[in-house]
């Protein structure tokens, strides 16, 4: 895969405007104040020979102003291997700076996105560049889930005497996406009640397919190839084989991320992405509902492009403070959901609104599998009292989940264990 690179080259207008931002440093201001004091003392004491003391300093100011005053005419390129990374992955960022003039001392600072962790090197460097020379700034960051935007590069130049300074804040945009980690999981749903479309998942309905179901008497219109000649000879009647038809299920993944369950939102997103990958591999068409303040609905489709589109949306998922998932789901069921689809509801079921959403799905006759990450398994108690409080909360949660089993299959997921283990324990896979 080709590296992702973005290049910045200043316009002539920017160079001219930057020349106006040439300012005195604090050291220069202190030096000028000292010179003024010397001149004042010389005038008061009529010691004109003291004026000669100021000449070397004034000469240094002249040299700094006219011989060490660059316009910061540089070209900047930021190189990143590509634009999508798994959360937790370490990425090397390379910032290349090419100068078109001599710059004695240039400090370069690459402004980091807030959610990226610097793990190796520094995101700043001081360079000395000749005309046409290229310098590099290298460092490594650890990626978190979400979209991360590099927006600014800061350049600061000071002359050798540290009298004058030029500062420039360059807008230089690069975007990377931290996608959720994905694990291999089994299919936690069946294909009962699915639409009649050829696909890889067997359905218990009788029809044309490859899985043998039984033998029945031949009926007019049946193809000759399904005649069972052994059974015909044994019974004296023309007998035919029956096969289980292959059908493809429409799956809707509904992701609930209430602010009360903020501690497991990353686990919720990883579960959704893992189950989507499983559906994609099986050739199953699927859609996505991401419950946020403005709900996100991705219509049912299939294939890699659709999978990566959904994963990108999951990467941006944030805690939902409004928590109106019940209303959102009912509206989508009435207007967008395909009939007889399989619903996979991923929710900690902490709020009454989240539980009401499950009741709504069941009320409209959908088969629902609930993946419920346990938020209390992410908390480490710091004392005996907290440990007891966690036990009480866990017992209350288990009682709630027991009531919710009337509306669908509940998979209680201890997030300290792999999701496939939780699925296997409940479904006996």
Q: Give the pLDDT mean for 372-393.
A: 89
Higher pLDDT, 64 or 352: 352
pLDDT in tens, 404-425: 999 999 999 999 999 999 999 8
pLDDT band at 201 (very low <50, low <70, confident <90, very high): very low
pLDDT in tens, 294-321: 779 999 998 899 999 999 999 988 887 7
Q: Does CATH place domain 4-22+69-179 in 1.10.150.120? A: no
Give the CA radius of gyration of the chain.
Answer: 34
Q: Give the pLDDT mean for 264-275.
A: 94
| pLDDT of the residue at 1 | 45
Q: Which sign, positive or negative, has the C-alpha torsion 300, 305, 311, 317?
A: negative
243, 211 Cβ separation under 8 angstroms: yes
CA contacts within 13 A on the Cβ side of 15 = 15
| pLDDT of the residue at 13 | 45
Q: What is the 3-state secondary structure (H, E, C) of the chain?
A: CCCEEEEECCCHHHHHHHHCCCEECHHHHHHHHHHHHHHHHHHHHCCHHHHHHHHHHHHHHHHHHHHCCCCCCEEEEEEECCCEEECCCEEEEEEEEEECCCEEEEEEEECCCCCCEEEEECCEEEEEECCCCEEEEEEEEECCCEEEEEEEEEEEEECCCCCEEEEEEEEEEEEEEEECCCCCCCCCCCCCCCCCCCCCEEEEEEECEEEEEEEEECCCCCCHHHECHHHHHHHCCCEEEEEEEEECCCEEEEEECEHHHHHHHHHHHHHHHHHHHHHHHCCCCEEEEEECCCCEEEEEECCHHHHHHHHHHHHCCCCECCCCHHHHHHHHHHHCCCCCCEEEEECCCCCHHHHHHHHHHHHCCCEEEEEEECHHHHCCCCCHHHHHHHHHHHHHHHHHHHHHCCCCEEEEECCCCCHHHHHHHHHCC
Higher pLDDT, 201 or 58: 58
400, 288 Cβ separation under 8 angstroms: no
- How far is residue 323 from each of residues 19, 293, 369, 405, 408, measured CA to CA in Å? 53, 7, 20, 22, 21
Q: What gap in Å lies between CA 194 and CA 1, rounded to an integer? A: 39
Q: What gap in Å lies between CA 20 and CA 8, rounded to an integer? A: 21
Q: What gap in Å lies between CA 374 and CA 413, rounded to an integer? A: 6
Higher pLDDT, 377 or 29: 377
For residue 127, the Cα-to-chain-centroid distance in whole angstroms is 34
Q: What gap in Å lies between CA 208 and CA 244, rounded to an integer? A: 7
Which range among 9-23, 62-76, 206-220, 410-424 shows the weakest confidence by mean pLDDT? 9-23
Percentage of the chain exceeding pLDDT 70: 80
pLDDT at 44 over 80: no
Domains 4-22+69-179 and 251-427 share a fold: no
Higher pLDDT, 428 or 135: 135
Q: How does 136-165 read in b/e, with b if 16+ C-beta sit within 10 Å?
A: ebebebbbbbbebebeebebbbbbebebbb
Q: How does 24-60 read in b/e, with b if 16+ C-beta sit within 10 Å?
A: eeeebeebeeebeebeeebeeeeeeeeeeebeebeeb
| pLDDT of the residue at 33 | 74
Q: What gap in Å lies between CA 386 and CA 390, rounded to an integer? A: 6
Fold category of 251-427 in CATH: Rossmann fold (3.40.50)
Q: Give the pLDDT mean for 374-395.
A: 89
Report the candidate in 316, 308, 306, 324 with the shortest Cα–Cα distance to residue 256: 324
| pLDDT of the residue at 205 | 41
pLDDT at 203 over 80: no
Domain ranges of the chain: 4-22+69-179, 23-67, 201-247, 251-427
Q: What gap in Å lies between CA 178 and CA 144, rounded to an integer? A: 6
Which residues, at least 6 apart from 348, have a Cβ–Cβ distance to it below 8 Å?
A: 256, 258, 260, 261, 264, 268, 354, 372, 373, 374, 375
pLDDT band at 61 (very low <50, low <70, confident <90, very high): low
Which range among 39-48, 60-69, 108-117, 272-281 shows the weakest confidence by mean pLDDT? 60-69
Q: How does 207-231 read in b/e, with b if 16+ C-beta sit within 10 Å?
A: eebeeeeebeebeeeeeeeeebeeb
């Amino acid at each position: 895969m080709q590296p992702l690179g973005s290049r910045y080259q200043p316009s002539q207008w920017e160079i001219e405007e930057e020349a106006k931002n040439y300012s005195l440093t604090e050291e220069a201001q202190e030096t000028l104040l000292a010179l003024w004091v010397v001149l004042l003392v010389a005038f008061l004491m009529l010691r004109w020979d003291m004026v000669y003391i100021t000449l070397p300093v004034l000469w240094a100011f002249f040299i700094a102003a006219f011989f060490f005053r660059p316009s910061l005419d540089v070209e900047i390129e930021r190189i990143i291997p590509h634009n999508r990374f798994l959360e937790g992955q370490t990425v090397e960022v390379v910032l290349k700076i090419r100068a078109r003039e001599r710059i004695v001392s240039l400090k370069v600072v690459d402004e980091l996105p807030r959610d990226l962790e610097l793990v190796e090197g520094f995101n700043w460097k001081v360079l000395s560049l000749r005309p046409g020379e290229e310098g590099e700034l290298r460092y490594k960051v650890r990626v978190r889930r979400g979209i991360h935007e590099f927006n600014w590069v800061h350049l600061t130049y000071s002359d050798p005497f540290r009298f004058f300074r030029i500062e420039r804040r360059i807008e230089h945009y690069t975007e990377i996406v931290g996608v959720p980690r994905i694990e291999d999981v089994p299919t936690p749903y069946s294909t009962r009640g699915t639409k009649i479309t050829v696909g890889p998942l067997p359905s218990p309905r009788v029809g044309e397919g490859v899985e043998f179901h039984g033998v029945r008497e031949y009926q007019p219109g049946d193809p000759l190839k399904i005649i069972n000649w052994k059974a015909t000879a044994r019974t004296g009647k023309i007998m035919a084989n029956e096969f289980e038809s292959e059908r493809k299920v429409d799956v809707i993944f509904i992701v609930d991320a209430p602010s009360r369950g903020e501690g497991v939102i990353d686990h919720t997103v990883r579960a959704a992405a893992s189950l989507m990958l499983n559906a994609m591999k099986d050739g199953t068409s699927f859609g996505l509902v991401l419950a946020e303040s403005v709900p996100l609905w991705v219509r049912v489709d299939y294939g890699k492009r659709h999978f990566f589109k959904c994963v990108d949306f999951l990467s941006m998922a944030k805690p939902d403070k409004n928590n109106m998932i019940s209303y959102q789901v009912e509206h989508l069921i009435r207007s967008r959901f395909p009939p007889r689809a399989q619903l996979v509801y991923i929710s900690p079921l902490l709020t009454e609104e989240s539980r009401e959403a499950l009741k709504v799905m069941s009320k409209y006759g959908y088969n629902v599998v609930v993946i419920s990450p346990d938020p209390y398994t992410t908390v480490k108690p710091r004392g005996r009292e907290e440990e007891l409080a966690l036990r009480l909360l866990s017992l209350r949660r288990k009682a709630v989940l027991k009531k919710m089993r009337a509306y669908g299959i509940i998979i209680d997921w201890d997030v300290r264990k792999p999701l496939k283990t939780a699925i296997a324990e409940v479904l006996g896979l």
